[in-house]
Amino acid sequence: MNVEFYSLLGVILKTEILRVDPVSIDLNKIQKAAKILRDGGLVAFPTETVYGLGADALSPRAVEKIFKVKGRPPDNPLIIHIGDKLELEKLAKNIPQKVEVLIENFWPGPLTIVLQKSSIVPKIVNAGLETVAIRMPSNKIALSLINESKVPIAAPSANISTRPSPTSAKHVINDLNGMIDAIIDGGETNIGVESTVIDLTTTPITLLRPGGVTFEDLQKILGKNNIEKSKYNPDEKIAAAKSPGMKYRHYSPKADVFLVEGKSDRIELKVQEIATNFEKKGYKVGIITINQKHQYQADTVEFIGSDLETIAKNIFKTFRKFDNKDMDIIIMEGVKEKRLGLAIMNRLRKAAKKIIQV
Ligand code: AMP
Ligand code: MG
């Protein structure tokens, strides 16, 4: 649908697919992609969290294309990806001391830090805020691309806005083929949910978005009282939000998602009850379970793992798989909000049409 829309505007592109083996990186292909970025083009690339859609962060025209092709609201700021911590000083100012310990423990990796922005960051990148979000990814292809391009890379997830984040090049092709210059296919991403975003301009530090680095690990490094979860409730309209991205519906498959939380045996009964009700009405129902013992009857039942790492890795992929099977309804079991479970539940709640507690 989007490709057609863009072809109407006369901007359809030939998207080049560059296959790169993550264990033996072909530098020629990386350099080709880096040149596209330097020339103001868009390149999707793998990171350890999800695939990112990159543009030269210092070029407002290049960054504008990201918002256009994704259909991303302009008030939802982007994360800037860097390959060397020295870049921090160019992009941010008044950097607090505690950045050091965070970098030492979590970079490169799935931790994004929000700092006061420097004057070189174009307004469009951070939606006119006084702050900028920065991360150094650990994926070798991503690092190589950033370093070869020699510019900081603004990159949100490489999906159409509101759709589930892409964890493989195939997902990016489905959403953005014909709309961007190139896609680096470096296989499936490791973590499967986005980076953790923390705001260092507040005391204590605020967790704005749970992600690949857990709140517990941050507490361990920073001290228990030096970081707190954001009190911002995305359902409230008072959204002079610290992190505007938090207020949007996200990560959603086309089907309506029902999230069932509570005790495991009660979850099993409730999930089946909802599934049966919808099937009686003629809907196609898919169930996503994290408990192999749960016996469900539905059009499709998918067990996506029982440990948090495997669940995180599979969740967006399974949403997309169910979309391809034209499911009308997806019923998903909740997890405990501990460790990576906090990030998983954050994504599930945003994807859900209805949350049912049992
Ligand atoms: P995405 O890259 O699509 O996963 O989304 C980036 C996330 O980082 C969104 O939730 C943004 O709201 C958040 N973010 C980016 N820049 C800032 C900033 N300067 N201050 C607060 N949050 C930010
Ligand atoms: Mg995103």
Q: Is 157 in the pocket of ligand 1 (CB under 6 A)?
A: yes
Residue range 87-133, pLDDT digits in tens: 999 999 999 999 999 999 999 999 999 999 999 999 999 999 999 99
Q: Is 165 in the pocket of ligand 1 (CB under 6 A)?
A: no
Please give the residue range of the domain that contains residue 310.
256-357
Q: Which domain CATH number covers 318? A: 3.40.50.11030
Question: What does pTM read for this prediction?
Answer: 0.94
pLDDT of residue 42: 98
For residue 244, give the ligand 1 atom closest to its CA.
Answer: 12
Quick check: is 239 in a domain? no
Do 21 and 169 form a contact (C-beta atoms < 8 A)? no
Q: Is 76 in the pocket of ligand 1 (CB under 6 A)?
A: yes
Assess whether 216 and 262 both reside in one domain.
Answer: no
The Cα angle at residue 291 between residues 290 and 294, in degrees rounded to 5: 125
Residue 215 Cα, ligand 1 centroid: separation in angstroms? 17
Residue 77: strand, helix, or coil: coil
Quick check: is 249 in a domain? no
CA distance 41 to 61: 9
Residue range 269-319, pLDDT digits in tens: 999 999 999 999 999 999 999 999 999 999 999 999 999 999 999 999 999
CA distance 101 to 356: 40
- Using the predicted structure, report yes or no on whether residue 244 has a pLDDT greater than 80: no
Assess whether 142 and 25 both reside in one domain.
Answer: yes
Assess whether 217 and 317 both reside in one domain.
Answer: no
Closest ligand by atom to 123 CA: 1
Domain boundary among 229, 246, 272: 229
Assess whether 194 and 343 both reside in one domain.
Answer: no
pLDDT of residue 13: 86
For residue 195, give the ligand 1 atom closest to its CA.
Answer: 4
Quick check: is 240 in a domain? no
Assess whether 41 and 96 both reside in one domain.
Answer: yes
Helices 215-222 and 99-106: angle between axes, nearest 10 degrees:
130
Q: Is 138 in the pocket of ligand 1 (CB under 6 A)?
A: no
Assess whether 151 and 264 both reside in one domain.
Answer: no
Assess whether 198 and 277 both reside in one domain.
Answer: no
Assess whether 221 and 163 both reside in one domain.
Answer: yes
Task: Pick the more confident residue, 118 or 240.
Answer: 118
Assess whether 152 and 270 both reside in one domain.
Answer: no
CA distance 147 to 257: 40
Assess whether 192 and 322 both reside in one domain.
Answer: no
Quick check: is 250 in a domain? no
Measured between alpha carbons, how far apart are the two ends of the chain, in Å? 38
pLDDT of residue 235: 45
Per the structure block, which two tokens stand in for 280? 């009686």
Quick check: is 12 in a domain? yes
Other beta carbons less than 10 A from residue 253's beta carbon? 20
- Using the predicted structure, report yes or no on whether residue 232 has a pLDDT greater than 90: no
Quick check: is 251 in a domain? no
Q: Which domain CATH number covers 150? A: 3.90.870.10
Could you give the number of structural domains in the chain?
2
Quick check: is 235 in a domain? no
Confidence of residue 1 (pLDDT cuts 50, 70, 90): very low
pLDDT of residue 155: 98
Assess whether 220 and 89 both reside in one domain.
Answer: yes
pLDDT of residue 243: 61
Assess whether 302 and 193 both reside in one domain.
Answer: no
Residue 92's DSSP bridge partners are 117
Q: What is the mean pLDDT of the segment spanning 252-273?
A: 94
Phi, psi values for residue 120, rounded to 5°: -80, -10
Quick check: is 168 in a domain? yes
Mean per-residue pLDDT over the chain, rounded: 93
